[in-house]
Amino acid sequence: MELLTLCDAKGKLNMQTVGYSPIPKIDANVKRRLFRRKNWNHWIVYGEEAVLTFLIADFSHTVVGIVTFFDLETDRFLMEKVDLTFNRQMTLGTHPSHSSHFIHDGLTIECVREEAVTHLLARVSSFDGESFQTNLKIEHPTQDESLNVVIPTTVDEYQMTSKQFTLPTSGTVTLGNREYHFHPEYSFSVANMMRGIWGRKVEWCWGVASQRVGDERIGLNLSNGWTDGKGYTDNGVVIDGKLHIINEELQFLFNPQNMSEKWGIKTKYSSRVQLTFTPFFEEQDILRMKLSKLKVQRVKGYFDGIIELNTGAPLRIRQLLGTIEYAAGKW
- Within 13 Å of residue 295, how many CA atoms lie on the same side as its CB? 4
Q: Quick one: which of 78, 202, 182, 191 has its CA closest to 134? A: 182
pLDDT in tens, 209-243: 999 999 999 999 999 999 999 999 999 999 999 99
Answer whether 265's CB lies under 8 Å from 235's CB: no
Q: Rounded to an integer, what distance in angstroms lies between the CA atom of residue 256 and that of residue 21?
A: 34
Provide the pairing of β-strand 157-175 with 130-139: antiparallel
Where residue 285 falls among pLDDT bands split at 50, 70, 90? Answer: confident
On the question of pLDDT at 61 being above 90, the answer is no
pLDDT in tens, 7-40: 998 899 999 999 999 999 999 999 776 678 899 9
Tally of CB atoms within 10 A around 295: 13
- Comparing 84-93, 162-171, 253-262, the range with the smallest average pLDDT is 84-93
pLDDT in tens, 177-190: 999 999 999 999 99
Q: Quick one: which of 95, 178, 99 has its CA closest to 138? A: 99
Would you call 16 helix, strand, or coil by DSSP?
A: helix
Q: Quick one: which of 269, 170, 288 has its CA closest to 224? A: 269
pLDDT score recorded for residue 167: 98
On the question of pLDDT at 197 being above 90, the answer is yes
pLDDT score recorded for residue 236: 97
Give me the DSSP letters along 52-113: EEEEEEE-SS-EEEEEEEEETTT--EEEEEEEES--SSEE--SSTTS-EEEEETTEEEEEEE
pLDDT score recorded for residue 290: 65
pLDDT score recorded for residue 268: 95
On the question of pLDDT at 104 being above 80, the answer is yes
Q: Rounded to an integer, what distance in angstroms lies between the CA atom of residue 234 and that of residue 148?
A: 8
pLDDT score recorded for residue 1: 78
Query: Is the backbone of residue 59 left (phi > 0), alpha (psi -120 to 50) or beta?
Result: alpha
CA angle 183, 189, 190 (to 5 degrees): 170
Answer whether 275's CB lies under 8 Å from 303's CB: yes
pTM for this one?
A: 0.96
pLDDT in tens, 133-142: 999 999 999 9
Answer whether 188's CB lies under 8 Å from 168's CB: yes
